Amino acid sequence: MGALAEEFAHPTFLAFPVIAARLLFAAVLGALIGFEREWRKRPAGLRTHILICVAAATFGVLTIEIVHTPVFGREAVVADPIRAVEAVTAGVAFLAAGTILFARGEVQGLTTGAGMWLAGAVGLSCGLGLWQIAGFGTLLILVVMGLLHTFEVKLGIAADKKDDEERDGQRSKDKSPK
């Protein structure tokens, strides 16, 4: 029983409050990104982006912990941080590809897919302790997804504005007496 208790109290290279802070920061940044998607009623909103960010952050923390775990022998482990980046990128790209649709001759979901991909990068940055990169990356994502969308709407070139106008036009036709 003592061995089991010792296993759960296993020491980590990073202090647990640091690990918790990295994961929580990833959740907050994922929520900011996901809120924009949720607000625009797009697929893959709040929960999805939080999960992507926290998962990527967890992989980042795990990468650090594995390299410093005595079980693997410190001399034998050679860290290649690019492998963590590749793994997160591939996993999130798989999820993001599922949000991209080709319907009625148009591609839909590219921005959501790109947001998911970037959420993975933000989460990995958090997990690796690169707070400034994660924060500034999130700021840029929000500027691109939010402010540029507002600019596109004002210019009348936003794809979702066109979709809304088409739906409104169809509803008018449906309501008109025949």
Amino acid (one-letter) located at 22: R
Compute the distance between CA of residue 31 and CA of residue 29 in angstroms, rounded to an integer: 5
Instruction: Give the distance from CA 111 to its chain's centroid.
Output: 12
Tokens of 20: 């918790």
Kindly state the greatest CA–CA separation across the chain: 81
Find where tokens 């967890």 sit.
58
**Is 85 strand, coil or helix?**
helix
Q: Is 93 exposed, middle or buried (0-12, 13-18, 19+ CB in 10 A)?
A: middle
pTM beyond cutoff 0.85: no
**Is 44 strand, coil or helix?**
coil
Amino acid (one-letter) located at 28: V
pLDDT digits (tens, 9 = 90+) for 83-133: 888 888 888 888 888 877 767 777 778 888 888 889 999 999 999 999 999
The mean pLDDT value of the chain amounts to 82
pLDDT digits (tens, 9 = 90+) for 121-170: 999 999 999 999 999 999 999 998 888 878 888 888 776 655 555 555 55
Alpha carbon of 2 to those of 13, 54, 68: distances in Å?
22, 31, 24
Half-sphere exposure (Cβ direction) of 13: Cα atoms closer than 13 Å: 13
